């Protein structure tokens, strides 16, 4: 069995990764400074002989005693509400944090997997987005702190691979949802669900015609796990290509919640992507991966989680 370090391991995706590796019998070191992560996400793992939590900011020197087989770098604010609130921290964890994590991978001779994002494509001029597309990003816009941090992290990862021979993987993660998202996360699904369950108006930005392709978290984690164990060094999109407009998504969530909430429209944020859909040809071909959970099934599972968090029956 392997020994794995997961940075950002107390976050939404990080905690699900910790859970998957522990379930597979691996030893997991979960590292997080809890700026956006939560101890609640990993509480069920504490006490397992296969799980260790370390409270640490990865932009500082990282020390982990003993051998490491894999390092998965997931430390970063990931929702617009977070990286707009924490712009400097977002840039630092994408640059300094990635540098420190790659340095550790080099020292431990560990395989390194970078959590990148569909945001490297910016507001795309091609649709759907394939890994060969270089993107359309505003480097000085409000969202640039996240977009460029991840683009830099990809460049740093490939530099360590080419110059130092570190064994690396890069996953470009598209919109993902599921249990352990924060109620006040700010992204569409948590916002719509919490508003619907509270009987509040659902807020849709712009006219709601902008699209997203949402992937249930269990599917995403399986894709990441497959990529880590593969021989693929180039970036791979992982996401569900089932595209939906924000207005359609809001209505679907209101219907699932049996809510009579109305929908109100607000100004579209600057540089908000108008379309987002992954081309997952590479994931299908190389990893033999395809999302299994359809949107309604995933939304129902996520709704149950939000009902518990909000105390709604």
Q: Are strands 243-245 and 211-213 parallel, antiparallel or unpaired?
A: antiparallel
Question: What are φ and ψ of residue 114, in 5° steps?
Answer: -95, 130
CB-based contacts of 60, cutoff 8 Å, min separation 6: 100
Tell me, yes or no, if 305 is annotated catalytic. no
Distances (CA, A) of 60 to 11, 89, 102, 149, 304: 19, 12, 13, 17, 38
- What number of residues does the chain have? 313
Q: Is the dihedral of CA 113, 114, 118, 121 positive or negative?
A: negative
d(CA 190, CA 293): 18
**Using a CB cutoff of 8 Å and minimum separation of 24, what contacts does 259-264 make?**
259/196, 259/197, 259/199, 260/199, 261/195, 261/196, 261/199, 261/200, 261/201, 261/202, 262/201, 262/202, 263/201, 263/202, 263/203, 263/204, 263/208, 264/201, 264/202, 264/203, 264/204
Residues 150 and 204 sit within 8 Å (Cβ to Cβ): no
Given the residues 70, 121, 146, 225, select the one marked as catalytic. Answer: 146
Residues with active-site annotation: 146
């Amino acid at each position: 069995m392997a020994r794995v370090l997961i940075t950002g391991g107390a976050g939404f995706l990080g905690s699900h990764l910790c859970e998957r590796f522990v379930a597979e019998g691996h030893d997991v070191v979960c590292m997080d400074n809890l700026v956006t992560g939560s101890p609640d996400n990993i509480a069920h793992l504490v006490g397992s002989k296969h799980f260790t939590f370390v409270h640490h900011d990865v932009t500082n020197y990282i020390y982990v005693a003993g051998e490491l087989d894999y390092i998965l770098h997931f430390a970063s604010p990931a929702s617009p509400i977070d990286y707009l609130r924490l712009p400097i921290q977002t840039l630092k964890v994408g640059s300094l944090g990635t540098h420190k994590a790659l340095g550790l991978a080099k020292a431990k001779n560990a395989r390194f997997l970078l959590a990148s994002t569909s945001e490297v494509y910016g507001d795309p001029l091609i649709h759907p987005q394939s890994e060969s597309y270089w993107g359309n990003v505003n480097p000085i816009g409000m969202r640039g702190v996240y977009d460029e941090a991840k683009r830099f992290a990809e460049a740093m990862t490939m530099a360590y691979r080419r110059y130092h021979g570190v064994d690396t993987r890069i996953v470009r993660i598209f919109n993902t949802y599921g249990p352990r998202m924060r109620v006040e996360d700010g992204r569409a699904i948590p916002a719509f669900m919490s508003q619907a369950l509270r009987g509040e108006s659902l807020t849709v930005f712009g006219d709601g015609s902008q699209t997203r392709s949402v992937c249930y978290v269990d599917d995403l984690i399986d894709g990441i796990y497959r990529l880590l164990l593969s021989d693929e060094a180039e970036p791979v999109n992982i996401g569900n290509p089932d595209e939906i407009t924000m207005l359609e998504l809001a209505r679907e969530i209101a219907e699932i919640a049996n809510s009579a909430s109305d929908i109100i429209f607000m100004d579209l944020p600057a540089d908000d992507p108008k379309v987002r859909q992954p081309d997952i040809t590479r994931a299908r071909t190389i990893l033999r991966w395809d999302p299994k959970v359809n949107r309604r099934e995933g939304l129902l599972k996520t709704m149950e989680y939000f009902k518990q968090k909000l105390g709604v029956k």
